[in-house]
Amino acid sequence: MTYSYSTPSYVQNDPYGYQIAPYRAEKKSSMPAATAGAVAGLAGGAIVGARKSTPYMVNGVPTTDFVKLVYNKYLPKASEAEQLAHQQGNEIINKLNSVKTVDELKTLLNNNAEASKEITETLHTSLDEYLNSVSDKNLTSNKDLIKKKMELSEKLRLENFKNKITQAWDMEKKAFAKPDNMDDAVFKAIKDTTGKARTKFIAKYAAATAAIAGAVTYILHKIITGTKHNHQQ
């Protein structure tokens, strides 16, 4: 059996002699490797996690933002009537607050006749008959009524699209598949929007991961620095 001994070091303590200083074994820190491993793990997890994730679907249901993106992508291929109803509905909502008189309201609705049909169809009357019933006294209440109706119509359009997206989602494969009864333009809008949504998600995920990795690196660096400082004392 072989024994090895470390040579004690001496420090001058006073003019009369020497005192044996405590032996300190040199330890090589493995923290740099740990740092690299942690950062690499985060980066790898970001890439794999982002590619496998479906940020636009939650438990088989599309998110509100994703539905809006798909619908806006589809709109140029929609019927002229649907396009007008959507565009004019938004215009009415945006301009209602600036309407101060009955005549201004009449002008707004007449200039957006396609969207105004949704109001008159609900009230079972013609646009002229409805406008003739509006007065200075009930102008505010009618503006509120019109705004709610326009917002509800848009909500229903988006809800309809949400159902279509849900029907095209394959829960097992975690991917979209075109149902037989789905319009080609609708499915194309879904697929095109999916690619862009995933790209944006990966970019966002990678940026967040980079920030976390930077924080981890900084913390581990402080630990390493502190460890080395303690060994040197």
| Average pLDDT of the segment spanning 62-88 | 94
Tens of pLDDT, residue by residue over 29-43, are 454 555 555 544 544
The reply to whether 12 falls in a domain is: no
Tens of pLDDT, residue by residue over 142-195, are 999 999 999 999 999 999 999 999 999 999 999 999 999 999 999 999 999 998
The reply to whether 47 falls in a domain is: no
The reply to whether 21 falls in a domain is: no
The reply to whether 173 falls in a domain is: yes
For residues 98 and 198, what is the distance between their CA atoms, to the nearest angstrom? 39
At residue 231, the pLDDT reads 56
Full domain range(s) for residue 82: 52-202
The reply to whether 130 falls in a domain is: yes
pLDDT band at residue 118 under the 50/70/90 scheme: confident
Q: Does pTM top 0.85 for this prediction?
A: no
The reply to whether 96 falls in a domain is: yes
Which residue has better confidence, 101 or 56? 101
pLDDT band at residue 61 under the 50/70/90 scheme: very high
Total domains in the chain come to 1
The reply to whether 30 falls in a domain is: no
The reply to whether 59 falls in a domain is: yes
For residues 70 and 63, what is the distance between their CA atoms, to the nearest angstrom? 11
